[in-house]
Structure 1
Amino acid sequence: MVDAAPSAVRSPTPGRSRWRSLTYLSGCLVFSAGAYLFVHSRLGTDPLDVFSLGLLRHVPLTVGLVQAGVAVLCLAVVALWTRRRPALSPLLTFFACGSLIDLLMWGDPARGLGAWPALALGVALCAEGSALILMSGFGVRAMDLLALVVSARWRWPFWLAKGAMETALLLTGWALGGPVGVGTLCFLVGVDLLIQPLVRLQVRAGMVDHSGVDCARRNR
């Protein structure tokens, strides 16, 4: 689980709110760019996109709509498990990131970039984007929110809880014809293991205060 010292509940100042909003928006942009680079590399994409792209082979939807549907399912599980009404902001995150991926795939700004450089950059961007969204305390991705609940209830490490869910998505997406390859393994191993260290490093470096991370933990 993401480490963060408990902090007193307080109303965020306008400056802190603006900083958290900027952190959140940056996280969405950075994560979407990384996910697009996975697709661009053609070496296999992240498990959620494996599922999304596999499902798109059978139904006329978009990546944004498919990912929003996954978010609804994750939030429903969180609500049933915790018996609390979850925040709806993760739906915005899934739809926004999915739509940005659709836009980037359409424009293909990385055309000409080699497969392996695209994959390496995609791993770094997806990990940093996920860390920024977690640190913002707003719109924590629904899968991350569910992973936080699992890690708290079952005493699993965050990376293990998230990895188990993504493996389930991966297998389903692969069965539907989604693109699986070495890039998918790089996401499962690289991105999921990098998120926690990146959060800790940036919190300790003073890039964000504890309030955003604590807010994410309280919203489990």
Structure 2
Amino acid sequence: MEDEKIKCEKKTHPLIQHIGTQVLSLQHFKKDQIVMYLMGVSFFSLGAKCFIISQLGTDPLDVLIISIDKILMLGMGVCSAIVSLFFLTWWMLWNKKYPPISPFITTTLTGLLIDLWSWLGLGEYLIARMNDYSLLAAGLLLCAYSSALIIMSGIGIRIMDLVVLTMVSRWNWSFTKAKMIIEIGIFSSGWLLGGPFGIGTIAFLLVIGPLIQPFMNMNTKRFALKNYGLMSASSAY
């Protein structure tokens, strides 16, 4: 019996073992961490939906995802997974080791939730009640606050930030410089493929980062939420 078990373990591909280990590690997170994380992803998807229906431009990653969805017509969830796999493969080849799966979950789950809001008719509901700039403002606040929740949960970061962190460690760049270069490259690629670009994209780049730290402070002081992740938003943005 033990020999058969050993044979099975030997046949298991290292990547499958890595994914299994990563999935099992999720059970070690506390309930309030998971709640913060899921709330963060849900709010971020709502904010992204507000950006999209405002038609004033959206965040750089969604510019690329939307452009791919226009070509493949598979939905935001599937296209988010495709982009996630691209960045994970890039990170894996660059670092020569298997990547964490939490950024993949974060990006894919966000895309699936955007599809859900579309299916529920949220876009039509909001368009009838809010103008474009109100939707943009709501999107900025939701994305900033949700980013604070995701950071504080200590569970996952956005998929492109994995590559950004490698650029920082390899080339000794600042996080801001590396992130700006990646985001410019992402939205340029998405825009050339037909993705939306506008004042909302610029607003996302300029406004989200500075708002995250105040929201983290508010969550800690006003709502007594524990910070399991980075103590300072400047470490991530």
After TM superposition, the score normalised by the length of structure 2 is 0.74
- Residue 84 of structure 1, CA deviation: 3.2
Residue of structure 1 aligned with 2:178, choices 152, 156, 161: 161
Residue of structure 1 aligned with 2:110, choices 97, 102, 108: 97
Q: Deviations over 1:1-26 (max 9, x none)?
A: xxxxxxxxxxx9x9971111011001
Q: In the alignment, what sits opposite 2:22? A: none
What 5-or-longer segments of structure 1 have no aligned partner?
Answer: 1-11, 215-220
1:47-66 pair list within 5 angstroms = 47-66=60-79
* Residues 203 and 121 of structure 1: CA distance in aligned 2, closer, same or farther (over 3 Å): closer
2:185 & 2:28 partners in 1: Cα distance? 40
Task: Specify which structure has the bigger relative contact order, considering alpha-carbon pairs within 8 angstroms and separated by 6 or more residues.
Answer: 1
Q: In the alignment, what sits opposite 1:187? A: 204
Residue of structure 1 aligned with 2:126, choices 99, 102, 110: 110
2:226 & 2:161 partners in 1: Cα distance? 19
1:172-183 pair list within 5 angstroms = 172-183=189-200
Q: In the alignment, what sits opposite 1:42? A: 55
Percent identity over the alignment? 38
Whether the 8 Å CA contact 2:150–2:157 is kept in 1: the answer is yes
Q: In the alignment, what sits opposite 1:86? A: 99
Q: State the superposition RMSD in angstroms.
A: 2.6
Whether the 8 Å CA contact 2:149–2:216 is kept in 1: the answer is no
- Residue 143 of structure 1, CA deviation: 1.5
Q: Deviations over 1:47-76 (max 9, x none)?
A: 122112222222222111111122112222
Whether the 8 Å CA contact 1:34–1:125 is kept in 2: the answer is yes
Q: In the alignment, what sits opposite 1:9? A: none
Q: Please, which moves more after superposition, 133-142 or 119-128?
A: 133-142
What 5-or-longer segments of structure 2 have no aligned partner?
Answer: 1-24, 232-237
Q: In the alignment, what sits opposite 2:89? A: 76
Residue of structure 2 aligned with 1:22, choices 30, 35, 46: 35
- Residue 85 of structure 1, CA deviation: 2.0
After TM superposition, the score normalised by the length of structure 1 is 0.79
* Residues 135 and 157 of structure 1: CA distance in aligned 2, closer, same or farther (over 3 Å): farther
Structure 1 runs (4+) deviating above 4 angstroms are none
What secondary structure, in the 3-state scheme, does the structure 1 residue paired with 2:145 have? helix
* Equivalent pairs, count: 200
